[in-house]
Amino acid sequence: MAVLQMQRISICALKKDRKAILEKLQSMGVMEMNQIAEDEEGFEKMDTQGARQNFEKQAQVSEQALTVLDEYAPEKRSMLASLEGKKLVDRKRFGEVTDNKGEIISKANRLVSLNKEIAENKANILKLENQIESFRPWLALDVPMKCKGTDKVSMLLGTMPGETTMESVYVLVAKRCPEVEAIDVKIINSDKDAAYLTVFCLREEETKVEDALRSGGFARPSQVTGKVPSVKKANLEAKIKELNSEIVRIEEEIKGYAADREDLRIIGDYFRMRANKYEVLGTLPQSQRTFVISGYAAAKAVPAVQKAVGESFDCVIDVEELKEDEEPPVILENNGFSSSVEGVLGSYGLPHKGEFDPTTIMSFFYVFFFGMMLSDAAYGAIIAIACFVVLKKFPRMEAGLRKSMKMFMYCGVSTMVWGVLFGGYFGNVVDIVSGVFFGKTVTVPALWFIPLNDPMRLLVYSLAFGVVHLFVGLGIKGYMELKDGKVLDFFCDVVLWFAFLIGLLLLLIPSDIFASIAQAKIVFPPFLNMLAKVLAIGGAIGLLLMSGRESKNPALRIALGAYDIYNITGWLSDVLSYSRLLALGLATGVIASVVNQMGSMFGKGIVGVIGFIAVFVIGHVLNLAINLLGAYVHTNRLQFVEFFGKFYEGGGKPFEPFKSDTKYVDIKEETLS
């Protein structure tokens, strides 16, 4: 239960070894880079931008190739595939693949260009289809569209507005140029937008006729062809067919590369790793023959680095404690149970330098509250078993996900325990099933009590758990202040508050208000009542005088003290916030009962059983899902807002070691035997 002690390691070695040393550190993955001596004279940084970008490009190509493969030759993946984690690849296989990197990358390039060809072909098909579309109205024409006519007769081809008929064209021409005698109009096709027509006239009268037609909205077609339109269409269709078969051929070729999927993944990871290495290399200060590497590592990982690097290379390794003003990255270390909630802590913020790691204490409260909010034995068993099976089945799951799964497994167990205590098994399914189908109501007795029958009692317990939780939080604050040697702060901020709050609590318990809530009158012996008054008044006066101790002005100091006492309302609302333990617990149980009741409405018999099973499955899946979400969100809230509000700041930087940052595969390290 702690934040690991960090140290700074600096390695000064010969330039010729730099890549080998970097590779070693990368494969160990225990050091976060943080360079020093950057501005020293004689040291320069190397420009690795070009090399790095080159590697990133290669990784990009392999990634694109994989996308292409996924599109045309999808891999069969189960629903749970995302839980599998990265595949483990041994050094030998990795070496084989990287030796062939040129070949694999050319395959990747080929895949990318094939994909481009498909896209181009598809674009061409679209273009051809558009062309066919533009010739469609002219299909009935049996001469080429470019046909001008004969020596004496000319042919005008074009469109006119939709309502045009043969007569209206004759009328139009007759009106505009009555001198024209010979004219022949043929409507090839007409739809609601346009009429497609040919007009024959004497060549010498062509311009006159065309002008006349234009005044009626005549226009020549934008796309014309030297061929008869139906022939042209057949040609275009043949071309499309050709392109389509070309696409099929290319798709087949792409599918042929499906076996190279793994190679592509490995090579992508290889280039990612190299890009990563060059990025670090670019930050290293280098002199003519030497270079310096510096960074943070956990103190317990330092000997391994000293051994691995120091024994194989000529170098000087310098290990030093951190300076005052350094803010090192944070690694948490907790036992198997508590480490499962590290993700929750991480989402709030890791402890900053010198701050206490609350993970262990939080983990117990977390599991406890979670179970109380869900509180159904059957739901708990489902969650716990499901998480357990997934954990066993996918041992290579990604670490963060694995922790969350473990956390839910423990929460499931806790839910089961609370369910047994409160007598909830799918709500009241035992009562309903036995009553409806067997005619005799059997009730599984609650080990403790049934919350719905006695909600006030559970409310009191919920608030009491809340008080314990908050007091632990305040206690941790006190512990941290004592550790830092701030005894006065400890006394004023923690001891006085404890005195004040405990005094108030002791005053509250024998009072009538409490008796009406708890439905039991508690009478304290007189000395305890006296003690309560002393504690409450003493605490209040202490806070009034001491809270504003930083202020020199006595009036301001008292005002600040009074304001601090006003924080008691904050404590009240914090404690009341724990009533959600009761409310959410009731919600699960009551909705489960509603589901069971609805299921039982089909009555006895086969139909009744089938109806019941259907309603039961759907209803409980929904109820479990929504209440699981509720329990998770509100447990987090109780930790983050109420508990952490008392003592925790967070804001630490997570440890990001220089490591093999792969996407698809993990490389198995040779055992150091």
Partner 1 sequence: MSIWSNLGLVYALLGAAVAVFLAGAGSAIGVGIAGQAAAGVVTEDPSKFAKVLIMQLLPGTQGIYGLLVGFITLSKVGLLGGGAAALDPQTGLLILAACMPIGIVGLISGKYQGMTSAASIGIVAKKPDQFGKAMLFPAMVETYAILALLISILAVNAVQI
Which residues of this chain interact with partner 1, rule CB under 8 A? 344, 346-348, 452, 455-456, 459, 576-577, 579-580, 582-584, 586-587, 590-591, 593-594, 597, 626, 629-630, 633-634, 636-637, 640-641
What would the two tokens of residue 223 be?
């796309």
CA gap 332, 568 in Å, rounded: 34
**Residue at 425: amino acid letter:** Y
Q: Which is nearer to partner 1, 117 or 661 (CB)?
A: 661
Q: Which is nearer to partner 1, 348 or 491 (CB)?
A: 348
Q: Which is nearer to partner 1, 306 or 579 (CB)?
A: 579
Q: Mind giving me the DSSP string for 240-308?
A: HHHHHHHHHHHHHHHHHGGGGHHHHHHHHHHHHHHHHHHHHHHHSEE-SSEEEEEEEEEGGGHHHHHHH
CA 174 → CA 166, 199, 214, 511, distances in Å? 12, 14, 14, 112
Provide, rounded to whole angstroms, the least separation between the CB of residue 359 and partner 1: 15
Provide, rounded to whole angstroms, the least separation between the CB of residue 443 and partner 1: 16
Q: Which is nearer to partner 1, 577 or 660 (CB)?
A: 577
Provide, rounded to whole angstroms, the least separation between the CB of residue 473 and partner 1: 17
Provide, rounded to whole angstroms, the least separation between the CB of residue 449 and partner 1: 14
Q: Which is nearer to partner 1, 119 or 601 (CB)?
A: 601
What is the 3 state secondary structure string of 318-376?
EEECCCCCCCCCECEECCCCHHHHHHHHHHHCECCCCCCCCHHHHHHHHHHHHHHHHCC
Q: Which is nearer to partner 1, 177 or 518 (CB)?
A: 518
- Measured between its terminal Cα atoms, the distance across the chain in Å is 32
- Taking the CB of residue 497, how many other CB atoms lie within 10 A of it? 24
Q: Which is nearer to partner 1, 286 or 434 (CB)?
A: 434
Q: Which is nearer to partner 1, 28 or 373 (CB)?
A: 373
Q: Which is nearer to partner 1, 144 or 455 (CB)?
A: 455
Q: Residue 215: in which H helix or E strand, if any? A: helix 206-215
What would the two tokens of residue 587 be?
């919600």
CA angle (27, 32, 37) in 5-degree steps = 115
Q: Which is nearer to partner 1, 219 or 572 (CB)?
A: 572
CA gap 477, 155 in Å, rounded: 99
Provide, rounded to whole angstroms, the least separation between the CB of residue 623 and partner 1: 9
Provide, rounded to whole angstroms, the least separation between the CB of residue 597 and partner 1: 7
On the CB side of 577, CA atoms within 13 Å amount to 22
Q: Which is nearer to partner 1, 371 or 451 (CB)?
A: 451
CA 386 → CA 62, 92, 102, 413, 574, distances in Å? 36, 36, 45, 11, 34
Contact 172, 210 (CB under 8 A): no
> 303-324 burial, b for 16+ CB within 10 Å, e for fewer?
eebeebbeeebebebeeeeeee
With tokens 């909830």, the residue in question is 424
Closest CA to 647 of 494, 465, 461: 494
Q: Residue 310: in which H helix or E strand, if any? A: helix 302-310
Q: Which residues contact 328 (CB under 8 A, 6 or more apart)?
A: 6, 296, 322, 353, 653
Provide, rounded to whole angstroms, the least separation between the CB of residue 335 and partner 1: 22
Provide, rounded to whole angstroms, the least separation between the CB of residue 640 and partner 1: 6
User: Quick one: the chain helix, strand, coil %, rounded to 5?
Assistant: 65, 10, 25
